[in-house]
Structure 1
Amino acid sequence: MSHTPQSRDEAARDEAQPVNAEGADEVAVEANRRLYYGWQWLLFGILAIAYSLFHLVSLNIYPLETWSFRILHIAGALILGYGLYAGTQFADDDSRRSAAWMRWLSYALLVPALYALVRVIMMQQEMSAGAMRIAPEIEAWHFGYPLILATVAGILLSWSYRQVRDRLSPADLVLMVCALAVAGYLLVMFNSPLRASTGTSFAPMGISYAAIAGSLLILELTRRVAGLALVIISAIFLAYVFAGPYLPGFLGYPGLSVGRFFSQVYTDAGILGPTTAVSSTYIILFIIFAAFLQASKVGDYFINFAFAAAGRARGGPAKVSIFASGLMGMINGTSAGNVVSTGSLTIPLMKKVGYPARSAGAIEAAASTGGQIMPPIMGAGAFIMAEVTGIPYTEIAVAAIIPAILYFLSIYCMVDFEAARKGMRGMRSDEIPKFRRLVKQVYLFAPIIILIAALFMGYSVIRAGTLATASAAVVSWISPNKMGLRAILKALQLAGGMSIQIIAVCACAGLIVGVIALTGVGARFSSLLLGLAGVSQLLALFFAMCISILLGMGMPTTAAYAVAASVVAPGLIEIGIQPLVAHFFVFYFAVVSAITPPVALASYAAAGISGDRAMSTSVASFKIGLAAFIVPFMFFYSPAMLLEGSWMQILRVGVTATLGIVLLSATVQAWFFGPVKAWQRIVMLIGALCMIYGGLMTDVAGLAIGIVLFLLQRGRNDGGTRSVASD
């Protein structure tokens, strides 16, 4: 675009800044989310603030015993979750509300729930007075049975109990009391010598009763906040625990009794294991950090900055989507959430400059999914990777740099080539924010920079995250959106609400991890991969890819990676792949399950905004994000991609892989420096795969193919390209 001096009219239009991101930091209100007023709003606001402060204090000032901290972490999320999320749709008017008998039945269930809670208090007093254990009949008749009755009946009632949006359902009040009773009993028992008896015939049955009720509460909350996919997969794994002894082949195992399984599943072997360890430390801390960034309107600034930087390029809004989604991905850490926050602005603008609805939604979905692999935060999966592998988080973040660059470069080239092929324009200067204004507020990037600097200066992740959170508040004092006490409390309240989904998902994933650990199915899967590797390592990797995507379909990234890391990664390590490479392999495919048909959460969210069909959008986003399905294989064939090796190896692999990604994008879009013929696309694909493979000879062959095609394109299509560009 030519840079001519602006007239006064143009300057006036720039002053108006018609494209200005506002509300990107607002949290989307789900269909089943309650909106309280008056004393109920105040009560749940205080609970959310207290929940966030509990974690900040416990992580930085007054640490608690590990299991106790994790039990309280889950219990707080359950209480908040059942208070804020309804189990069914809200009634449109009073005539569609539930019958009075259902309300009274719900209140009647408070009796067994409160009775179980009171018995927990009495048991705690007995144990404090010197009792070695509680009588089994007391645990069964006065705690276990009332608790399970209230939990099961409360969940069933909540499915059909319809109410107005601003009131708490009595059925959900029952479930909140049950969550308190579960946490109370587990705290009593796990802080006594009986903790060592879990998984044996000497374990109190009360632990199993509490674990059954707690598992049901976690599954139901997960259904409310994350959908049925993860719940169904969890149910299949739970069914395997008891059906496994009757299954043939490698799936069979000796079996576990109800008591033995459930006395262990609510320990660090399952629900209180690695996934909850991460959600109760790193994830909750970065959610609080994200809430502080949102409260200071940094998300709006990120999107406006992206518009100012990339809006004028051809297909401008699509390129803005790439940059904005990468920046926002560092804040919200979920693919679908990223789509909603940035796509509501970028998708309509993409359609305005000529992208079909399908392409607009697909670009946003693919770009938003990339936010999960964008260092330094990389979504919650990176923290779980650090916890599971023992590899320092900073090493994981550094290793992710080249793959993230390749992924976003691929999407950028796909977008650019499509814009060139269709002769699209960029946005006019009067349609985007003024860059010189935005650059004056570049200090808003300071919290992110401080976070990165603190991590690489050797601070722990918790200390670095806390420092970055504090810096977000301080930086806001020199910005137009100053954070006073009210704004800080608002950010803490926001963090409490934002954390519910990810904590429920992590706890539910912990249930699956517990099944895998206690039944040994992961080890049998590893032996299956080992057998496949004897035939072909590529076949074993392809099978691992399919399983990782299948496990991740319809699930949030965190749960998808946690499950795949338990099932697939050990098998990859068993066949000789380095732990970092193996975990990055399954992590990438868990992430891209969000754009993989037929169940593609990010694509479905984008289709809802673009107006196109969900399946068409998911197929298009799969095509645009194709590089993400190839890059993980590069980890195996070229570990230098993850910065494993000498600097010369890393440089060579990085450069050739970049060129290969450009050729791959040109192949998909049938455009390089002009239209690409069918035979050229085939040759181009071969050249791309040669350079992506990473061997010295294949790199040379790929470079030769690329140079020949470049010369052919420049010689044959140079004039046509200029004419399209001038249009």
Structure 2
Amino acid sequence: MSHQSDSPITAAPISGPVEPQDAQALLAEGVDEEVIEPNRRLFSGWQWALFGCLAIIYSLFHLITLNVIPMETWSYRIIHVAGALVLGFGLFTGARFAHDAADESPRWLTALGALLLLPAGYALIQTGLMWRALNGGGAMRIESHIETWHFGAPLIAATVAAIALSWCYRKVRTTFSMPDLVLMVAALASAAYLLVIYNTPLRMSTGTSFAPVGMTYAAIAGSLLILELTRRVAGNALVIISAIFLAYVFGGPYLPGFLSYPGLSVYRFFSQVYTDIGVLGQTTAVSSTYIILFIIFAAFLQASKVGDYFVNFAFAAAGRARGGPAKVSIFASGLMGMINGTSAGNVVSTGSLTIPLMKKVGYPGRSAGAIEAAASTGGQIMPPIMGAGAFIMAEITGIPYREIAVAALIPAALYFLSVYFMVDLEAAKKGMRGMRKDEIPQFRKLARHAYLFAPILILIAALFMGYSVIRAGTLATASAAVVSWISPNKMGVRAILKALQLAGTMSIQIIAVCACAGLIVGVISLTGVGARFSSLLLGVAGVSQLLALFFAMCISILLGMGMPTTAAYAVAASVVAPGLINIGIQPLIAHFFVFYFAVMSAITPPVALASYAAAGISGDNAMKTSMASFKIGLAAFIVPFMFFYSPAMLMEGSALQITRVAITASLGIFLLSAAVQAWFFGPVRLWQRGVMLIGALCLIYGGLATDLAGLAIGAALFMLQRRNSGKRPGAVSTA
């Protein structure tokens, strides 16, 4: 909530030698600075202090509850979602900001917003009276007319009116919004009612005719608030998809074929959707435990300036190789991906530095943006953290998170190898240079601060020593603060509070997205559409399993387009993964298949969030950038199919099988990259590219016979290129 620019990353000049020599040790600065979203308010004075304190309290609440004082599960998740709603409506506007006082909304809109506080506040007061009646007054339940007219009606009216008003209510960026205050009170009222009811025996009546009618009103208001906050922090795509699913609940009985189902009443559906079947289910379970904890961990790393160090380390390690900034982008995005939970966020944090440098050494703006988008998307599949999707996978499948992280090693390595080869071959094809020695940080100076990797190493070690994810994340967070005390960026009390405040703010988007995805998951569970889709997929598999996998890929990408990774995977896992399991695919393989394509939706045209973010930095056409990033990340659209045909890719098999598959698949990735870039130790013809593609697929497939065939194809093409060039063969740079 500090006043910072939208693009805080800066770099030292690289046009010539940097003097004195000590200045070389820091090329990237500001990677860890908080990026202020275009629709986030910038408060000052008491408002800044208020929301800063709320964010700190919100982060501390999770740390204390997860580690010291446990809370009843549903109550904890309700507070988790409600806290994000309160912070979100306070910090993010529902409409564009006014340019100046003359552009602000008329005063009568403010007065109308103030009037809406009356019904919202009245509903909140009623929750207190209900709690007193149920806990101290001896009542077994609240009369339905009281819940309807003294709680439900004013709450729904205030929520709907305040959301509509917020869409046209404009104030300058430093001013709070009255309609958003109404929404904050409505969020508290909805959560307070659910806390009261869910801590009585009435909780068991959800989904039945005996359920209190107030559950329905609280769930409707809560769902509307979640959808509105998701629109503000994650765009319209997820909201539109959620609206389609919600419409299906009531329109499904009138649809033909396998989409038809008996139907659910408004009361029955909403009395269940705000339980562990939907909003309070698996997605919120993950966001309220693992995700929030690792967001706090990431905030502590940012506060100790580890992000700057990661990027500078990448420059020192890869900057001098041909096309150096592009390879820096790969390394930096992989490292930052461990502490950044979104593909587009990864692009913003590293791309503001690497994209201009890539253009400087000869990459077109389109290629520079595409490389950054593809590399940043790969950060979502990079162990040990792997973005939020891996935590949801562990929650859904029951497979220990540690096993999921290990299974991701080879696929993640193949993906980054693919991007690296694409970059290297394009650099060789265009004769690009690397960065000069005076343009990059000195490796030996950076090596002195290698202890900054300690929190990541402690996290990995704790996970493999058998600690729970919560305990491992807490240890890693504490170690980040301790390590900072021997670094140039010591974390005192103020820095720790800033990290907690940053974590509370950073968590808003992912919590809103997880809660919104929970609505979709609830629809899928309550209507049974997922089971019917599984039957359809099973029928397709009867014709061809490959066709069923292709169909599943298309659905996973389609569901993920325009959505953050977490929501994309949660929805696809509910719709597609059960069908894959039903056709005989192991749960780990099925979920990794879905997870990969949910992640890759970030670089898949026509809606590619990571590519669009990169295009905004490079200044190139967004659609053409997304096409280029799709080409660079092509391996990620082939490798998941091999999970089914070669489970050794996911560490399923003997050590010899896993080693052979890793080596031959890496060679296959190189052939695939050469085919795409039309460069294999020199230029190649069209027919050679076709043959290389066949050889690449044979090697990636993983069978012994196909591996031998792929190796033979690669060797034959190599000898042909050597004869045609009349030169001794070179080697692809691995610098």
Query: For this structure pair, what is the TM-score category when the shorter chain's length is used for normalisation?
Result: over 0.9
Is 1:98 aligned to residue 105 of structure 2?
Answer: yes
- Give the partner amino acid of 2:569: Y
Pick from 706, 709, 731: which aligns with 1:701?
709
SS of corresponding position for 1:160: coil
Q: 1:27 Cα deviation (Å)? A: 2.1
| Match runs of 1:405-416 below 5 Å | 405-416=413-424
* CA distance in structure 1 between the partners assigned to 2:21 and 2:439 by the alignment: 7
Which of 44, 52, 55 is the equivalent residue of 1:45?
Answer: 52
How far off is 1:695 after superposition?
A: 1.4
1:312 to 307, 312, 320: 320
Structure 2: how far apart are the matches of 1:721 and 1:83? 62
Distance 1:332 1:39 in 2: 30
Q: Percent identity?
A: 79
Q: Structure 2 unaligned segments of length 5 or more: list them.
A: 1-15
The corresponding residue for 1:419 is 427
The reply to whether residue 61 of structure 1 matches residue 64 of structure 2 is no
Q: Residue type matched to 1:709 in 2?
A: L
Which of 605, 613, 618 is 1:605 aligned to?
613
Deviation, structure 1 residue 724? 13
Amino acid of the structure 2 residue aligned with 1:461: V
Q: Does 1:72 align with 2:44?
A: no
How far 1:679 sits from its partner (Å)?
Answer: 1.4
Question: How many angstroms apart in 2 are the aligned matches of 1:714 and 1:330?
Answer: 41
Q: CA contact under 8 A between 1:569 and 1:586: conserved in structure 2?
A: yes
Deviation at 1:336, TM superposition (A): 0.1
Q: Where do 5+ consecutive residues of structure 1 fail to align? A: 1-8
Q: Which residue of 2 aligns with 1:33?
A: 40
Equivalent position of 1:658 in the other structure = 666
**Counterpart residue identity of residue 564, structure 2:** P
Taking a change above 3 Å as real, the CA distance of residues 624 and 14 of structure 1, as seen in their structure-2 partners, is: farther
> 1:18·1:431 contact (CA, 8 Å) conserved in 2?
no
Measured after TM superposition, the shift of residue 476 of structure 1 is 0.1
State whether structure 2 residue 535 is matched by structure 1 residue 492.
no
Q: In structure 1, what is the Cα distance between the partners aligned to 2:648 and 2:287?
A: 31
Question: Aligned equivalents of 2:698 and 2:576: distance in 1?
Answer: 27
- Compute the displacement of 1:712 (Å): 1.9
Where does residue 273 of structure 1 map in the other structure?
281
Mean Cα deviation higher: 462-471 or 123-132: 123-132
Alpha carbons 2:119, 2:154 under 8 Å: kept: yes
Amino acid at match of 1:316: G
In structure 2, give the amino acid aligned to 1:388: I
Alignment CA distance shift 1:253-1:723 (3 Å) = closer
Alpha-carbon distance between aligned partners in 1 of 2:25 and 2:399, rounded to the nearest angstrom? 47
Deviations 1:636-669 (A, max 9, x none): 1100000001111111111111110000000000
Write the distance in 2 (CA, Å) between the matches of 1:12 and 1:487: 31
Structure-2 separation of matches of 1:132 and 1:220: 34
Q: How many residues matched?
A: 717
The residue number in structure 2 matching 1:157 is 165
Q: 1:437 to 1:19 in 2, by over 3 A?
A: closer
Letter in structure 2 aligned against 1:61: V
Does the Cα contact within 8 Å between 1:296 and 1:483 map onto a contact in 2? yes
Structure 2 residue 662 is matched with structure 1 residue 667: no
Deviation at 1:18, TM superposition (A): 9.0
> CA 1:718 to 1:271, structure 2 compared with 1: closer, same or farther past 3 Å?
farther
Spell out, residue by residue over 1:185-224, the C-alpha distance to the aligned partner (whole angstroms, 9 max, x if none). Answer: 0000000000000000110110000000000000000000
Moved more, 214-223 or 708-717: 708-717
| 1:175 equivalent in structure 2 | 183
Task: Look up the SS of the partner of 2:386 in the other structure.
Answer: coil
1:592 alignment partner, one of 581, 584, 600: 600
Residue correspondence of structure 1 range 173-322 to structure 2 within 5 A = 173-322=181-330
**d(CA) in 1 for partners of 2:177, 2:37:** 17
Letter in 2 for 1:115: Y
Match of 2:393 in 1: 385
Matched, 1:526 2:516: no
Pairwise CA RMSD of aligned residues?
1.3
Amino acid at match of 1:58: T
User: What is the aligned partner in structure 2 of residue 89 from structure 1?
Assistant: 96
Paired AA for residue 686 in structure 2: A
Name the structure 1 match of 2:6. none
> CA 1:252–1:723 in 2, change beyond 3 Å: closer, same or farther?
closer
CA deviation vs aligned residue, 1:233-278 (integer Å, no higher than 9, x gap): 0000000000000000000000000000000000000000000000
- The answer to whether structure 1 residue 120 and structure 2 residue 127 are counterparts is yes
Q: Give 1:481's aligned residue.
A: 489
Match of 2:358 in 1: 350
443, 447, 461: which one aligns with 1:439: 447
Offset of residue 719 of structure 1:
3.9
Are 1:329 and 1:379, in contact at CA under 8 Å, matched by a contact in 2? yes
DSSP 3-state at the match of 1:331: coil
Deviations 1:479-525 (A, max 9, x none): 00000000000000000000000000000000000000000000000
State the partner residue of 2:24.
Answer: 17
Q: Secondary structure at the match of 2:167?
A: helix
| Counterpart mapping for 1:361-376 below 5 A | 361-376=369-384
Conservation of the 8 A alpha-carbon contact between 2:722 and 2:728: no
Bigger mean CA deviation after superposition, 134-143 or 679-688: 679-688
Q: Say whether residues 1:572 and 2:580 are aligned partners.
A: yes
2:402 to 390, 394, 417: 394
**8 A Cα contact 2:238 2:562, kept in partner:** yes
Between the aligned partners of 1:393 and 1:637, the Cα distance in structure 2 is 23
Q: Distance in 2 between matches of 1:600 and 1:723?
A: 34
SS in 1 for 2:222: helix
1:548 counterpart residue number: 556
CA deviations over 1:705-726 (Å, ceiling 9, x no partner) = 011112222333364987999x
Moved over 3 A (4+): 9-16, 718-725
- What SS does structure 2 have at the residue aligned with 1:332? coil
| Alignment CA distance shift 1:249-1:637 (3 Å) | same
Shift of 1:16: 3.4
Given that 1:421 and 1:674 are in contact with CA atoms closer than 8 Å, whether structure 2 keeps it comes out as yes
Which one of the candidate residues 545, 562, 569 is aligned to 2:570? 562
Cα distance per residue 1:330-355 (max 9 Å; x no partner): 00121000000000000000000000
Q: Is the CA contact (8 Å cut-off) linking 1:49 and 1:493 kept in structure 2?
A: yes
User: Using the alignment, how far apart are the partners of 1:127 and 1:546 within structure 2?
Assistant: 51
Counterpart in the other structure of 1:109 = 116
**Distance in 2 separating the partners of 1:115 and 1:605:** 43
Give the counterpart letter for 2:133 in structure 1. Answer: E
CA distance in 2, matches of 1:95, 1:617: 39
SS of 2:62 mapped into structure 1: helix
**Match of residue 627 from structure 1:** 635
* Equivalent of residue 336 in structure 1, options 325, 332, 344: 344
Check conservation: 2:329, 2:375, Cα contact below 8 A: yes
* Stretch of structure 1 that moved more, 9-18 or 311-320: 9-18
Q: Give 2:13's aligned residue.
A: none
How far apart are residue 95 of structure 1 and its match?
A: 1.2
Q: What's the CA shift string for 1:669-714, capped at 9, x where partnerless? A: 0011111111111111110011111111111100100111122223
1:323 to 327, 331, 338: 331
TM-score by length of 1: 0.97
1:638 aligned to 2:646?
yes
**1:32–1:86: 8 Å Cα contact kept in structure 2?**
yes
Aligned partners of 1:139 and 1:205 also within 8 Å:
yes
What is the alpha-carbon distance in structure 2 between the residues aligned to residue 724 and residue 29 of structure 1? 41
Q: 2-side partners of 1:15 and 1:424: how far apart? A: 28
- Quote the Cα distance in structure 2 between the aligned partners of 1:313 and 1:538: 40
